[in-house]
Amino acid sequence: MKWGLLCGIIAIVALIFVYEWPKISSNMHKEKVAFIVFSVIACLLAGLLIFFPDIPGPTMWVETVYKPLGKLLEHP
């Protein structure tokens, strides 16, 4: 089941890639690299969320980083 979801996500990313790639002109190298990098990152994150759904979200990371700072800023 999980592998099917991953294959579906890869297929959707591939369809997006096939649809959008010709629209990026050949002299836009940085845009092509950015498109590839963001597509790969999105695919990896989706795969991680399929196999490990209990991964803490971005708000948990921010809270972990800034909680000690908040305690320091509280008045004694």
Q: Which contacts (CB < 8 Å, 24+ apart) does range 1-8 have? A: 2/50, 2/51, 5/50, 6/46, 6/47, 6/50, 6/51
Per-residue pLDDT at 75 exceeds 80: no
Q: How far apart are CA 4 and CA 62, in angstroms?
A: 32
Q: Which residue has the higher pLDDT, 12 or 26?
A: 12
Identify whether the C-beta of residue 17 lies closer than 8 Å to the C-beta of residue 42.
no
Taking Cα atoms as reference points, which of 34, 46, 54 lies closest to residue 10?
A: 46
Over residues 21-70, the pLDDT tens digits come to: 999 888 899 999 999 999 999 999 999 999 999 988 888 888 888 888 88
